[in-house]
């Protein structure tokens, strides 16, 4: 929300992805970068549902995708990480991976973990990556990871050096791309 819609491009996403594909470190990948242009409270926003129910279908209809959850992840930075968590856990039939980079979590999503744990069959849990910088002021990332631990929901938690900054995210792009595509 605090950045412009070219943020991932400024971070070096295209160059990093092209380099990894060229070296055979990740398979060719389609990355879709929707932008939440207006801040609308999550309780009334349709952003997550439109992304999951309309955009995913549209991409599958218009591009040569592997239209299975195994080959689809959802991820984001900061508020985008919060959306990724909500979208991914509300739609495990669409996504097998959730990337939550510098996760602040939406207010009620930590309490939502118990509901997700009971509503999603354990074999369908999305695998979740949570990473955050040591000097990041967001404290909910660790609390969220602890809730996932409590309900035996698979995830990886990384505490790296850095903060809630574009420099932090740019330094981890290669790691993110390899994590999303590791089993493809």
For residue 132, the cross-strand partners are 159
Average pLDDT, the chain: 93
> With contact defined as beta carbons under 8 Å apart, do 51 and 15 qualify?
no
In the prediction, which pLDDT does 43 show? 80
pLDDT digit string (tens) for 95-115?
A: 999 999 999 998 888 889 999
Which pLDDT score is estimated for 2?
A: 64
Classify domain 7-32+45-180 by CATH number. Answer: 3.40.50.1820
Report pLDDT for 121.
Answer: 95
pLDDT digits (tens, 9 = 90+) for 125-156: 999 999 999 999 877 899 999 999 999 999 99
Q: Where are the domains of the chain?
A: 7-32+45-180
First to last CA, the chain: 31
Report the pLDDT value the prediction gives residue 132, as an integer from 0 to 100: 96
Q: Rounded to an integer, what distance in angstroms lies between the CA atom of residue 141 and that of residue 135?
A: 13
The pLDDT, as a whole number, for residue 59 is: 97
* pLDDT score of 1: 58
Give 18-69 pLDDT, tens digit per residue: 999 999 999 999 999 998 877 777 888 899 999 999 999 999 999 999 999 9
Looking at residue 140, its pLDDT comes to 87
Please check the confidence at residue 85 and state whether its pLDDT lies above 90.
yes
Give CA–CA dist 22/58, Å, rounded.
28
**Residue 98 near residue 129 (C-beta atoms within 8 A):** yes
């Amino acid at each position: 929300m605090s950045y412009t819609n070219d943020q991932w491009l400024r971070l070096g996403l295209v160059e990093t992805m092209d380099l990894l594909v060229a070296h055979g470190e990740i398979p060719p990948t389609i990355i879709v970068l929707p932008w939440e242009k207006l801040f609308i409270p999550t309780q009334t926003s349709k952003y997550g549902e439109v992304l999951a129910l309309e955009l995913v279908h549209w991409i599958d209809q218009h591009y040569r995708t592997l239209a299975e959850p195994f080959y689809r992840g959802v991820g984001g930075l900061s508020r985008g990480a919060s959306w990724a968590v909500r979208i991914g856990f509300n739609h495990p039939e669409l996504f097998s991976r959730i990337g939550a980079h510098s996760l602040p979590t939406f207010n009620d999503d930590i309490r939502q973990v118990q509901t997700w744990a009971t509503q999603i069959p354990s074999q369908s849990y999305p695998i979740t990556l949570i990473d955050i910088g040591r000097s990041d002021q967001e404290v909910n990332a660790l609390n969220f990871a602890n809730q996932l631990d409590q309900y035996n929901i698979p995830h990886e938690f990384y505490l790296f050096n850095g903060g809630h900054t574009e420099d932090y995210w740019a330094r981890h792009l290669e790691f993110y791309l390899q994590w999303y595509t590791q089993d493809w």
